[in-house]
Amino acid sequence: MREFDYERAHDVTGAVALLGADPDARYLGGGTNLVDLMKSGVERPARLVDVRELPLDRVEFTRNDGLRIGATVTNSDLAAHPDVRRHYPALTQAVLAGASGQLRNMATVGGNLLQRTRCGYFTDLAKPCNKRVPGSGCPAVEGEHHNHAILGASAHCVATHPSDMAVALTAFDAVISYETADGPGKLPLAEFYLPVGDTPHLETALPPGALITGVTLPAAPVAARSRYRKVRERASYAFAIGSIAAALDVHDGVVREVRLAFGAVASRPWRARAAERALTGGPASAEAFAAAADAELEAARTLPHNGYKVPLMRNLVVAMLTELTEEAAR
């Protein structure tokens, strides 16, 4: 492990100034991903700027403005917040589906968004990886890829984004706030993660040196009727092989509003807009749910060992929307 300098920031302006334009410096949140990557040599920062003490640890909710989450709110605190549980239950469920209690106590919302893929080639310095070493190749395409992307990937990278939380945030139209030396900025989550293309090492649209300060979820009554479900290879403490955040407003058997986002299928949390379009204004029936899933998954490009994700996501869409429909009827 490379030796590094460590500094603790006490305010946002100070943090941004401490990091400056140094490409060898990283912000440190809970460290639950960055420190692992430093141990394995994937990340070798010369300098860490610890932002965990910044006064960004509040969760605030108003009916008109929605939810504002500070970037250093821990995953545990976010999941347990009464307003999150009541108005965005899928967000609580998504956060609790991730990691372990100990990790959630450390992990921050800002860090969660910026965590790196768990692709086994990315985390192994002995192997090629276009995300880690641009141009070195993607051995996953021909190799071990049973949990890799089926949507939005390219021949250069088929890694998935590991976050559960971000899937729920995507369904709820989250907007990311950040600070730079030139002042604050905002990015809708839909534009936050860059398409893979031939530059898988470029993961977000954040300007260099930017510090995430918070996440805003606009007011959305439909979010109160939402759920998150995660399928993984053991009952706990594993990344998803497929997950779904869904919110549904049904009236008289007709879908008035629906939100759908998928996890573990793409390099970013995947908003299923084609499915949402297919459903809105139509019947809330199992057939319609399946047809909507098919509309979204039409774009899927599978590899020899990850084709099961197509029926998995289809089944999850039908199961979740059916459950939400039954719930609304009660």
Partner 1 sequence: MTGTTTTTTTTATTAATATFGAVGAAHTRVEGVAKVTGAARYAGEVPYPELAHGWLVLSTVARGRIRAVESAPVLAMPGVVAVLHHENAPRLNGDYTNAFGVPDPIAQIFQHDRVPFVGWPVALVVAETPEQAREAAEALVVEYDEEPHDVVFAAGLPGVYAPESAPAAQKGDLEVELAASAVVVDAEYSTPEEHHNPMEPHAAIARWDGGRLEVVDSNQGSRFVADELAKLFSLDPQSVRVRSEHVGGGFGSKGTRPHSVAAAMAATVLQRPVRVVLTRRQMFSLVGYRSPTAQRVRLGADADGRLRAFDHRAECLTSTVYEFVERAAEFGRAMYDSDAHYSQTRVVPLDVPTPSWMRAPGEAPGSFALESALDELAEKCGLDPIALRARNEPAVGPVSGLPFSGRNLLACFEEGASRFGWADRDPRPGVRREGRWLLGTGTAASTFPVLSAPSTAAVTAEPDGTFTVRITASDIGTGARTALTLIAADALEVAPERIRMRIADSDFGFAMIAGGSMGTRSWAWAIRVAADELRERLALGGGIPPEGITARSDTSQAVGALEQKERHSFGAQFAEVAVDVTSGEVRVRRMLGIFAAGRIVNPLTARGQFVGGMVWGLSMALHEEAHRDRASGGHVGADLAGYHFSAHADVPDIEADWVDDPDPGDPVGIKGIGEIGVVGAAAAIANAVWHATGVRHRNLPIRPDRVLLAGAGGDRDA
> How many C-beta neighbours within 10 Å does residue 106 have?
17
Q: Interface with partner 1 includes 311 (CB under 8 A)? A: yes
* Cα angle 280, 286, 288; round to 5: 35
Residue 68 buriedness (CB in 10 A; 0-12 / 13-18 / 19+): middle
Give the residue with the Cβ less far from partner 1, 127 or 273: 127
Q: Which of 63, 236, 329, 330 binds partner 1 (CB under 8 A)?
A: 236
Q: Interface with partner 1 includes 35 (CB under 8 A)? A: no
Instruction: Give the interface segment with partner 1, choosing from 86-94, 166-174, 227-235, 273-281 (CB under 8 A).
Output: 227-235
Q: Shortest distance, CB of residue 140 to partner 1, whole angstroms? A: 8
Q: Shortest distance, CB of residue 143 to partner 1, whole angstroms? A: 5
Instruction: Give the interface segment with partner 1, choosing from 83-91, 153-161, 235-243, 271-279 (CB under 8 A).
Output: 235-243
Scanning residues 38 to 77, which ones bind partner 1 (CB under 8 A)? Answer: 41
Q: Interface with partner 1 includes 319 (CB under 8 A)? A: yes
Provide the residue count of the chain: 330
Instruction: Give the interface segment with partner 1, choosing from 70-78, 192-200, 226-234, 263-271 (CB under 8 A).
Output: 226-234
**Sequence-separated (6 or more) residues with CB below 8 Å from residue 197:** 154, 156
Q: Interface with partner 1 includes 105 (CB under 8 A)? A: no
Give the residue with the Cβ less far from partner 1, 242 or 269: 242
Q: Shortest distance, CB of residue 236 to partner 1, whole angstroms? A: 4
Q: Which of 21, 64, 235, 287 binds partner 1 (CB under 8 A)?
A: 235
Q: Interface with partner 1 includes 234 (CB under 8 A)? A: yes
Bridge partners of 176, per DSSP, are 187, 215
Q: Shortest distance, CB of residue 156 to partner 1, whole angstroms? A: 16
Report the alpha-carbon distance of residue 231 to residue 14 in Å, rounded: 41
- The two tokens of residue 280 are 């809105």
Reference 279, options 312, 243, 322, 308; nearest CA is: 322
Q: Are 163 and 264 in contact (CB under 8 A)?
A: no
Give the residue with the Cβ less far from partner 1, 266 or 318: 318
Interaction site with partner 1 (CB under 8 A): 1-3, 41, 118, 120-121, 123-127, 139, 142-144, 146, 231-238, 241-242, 305, 308, 311-312, 315-316, 318-319
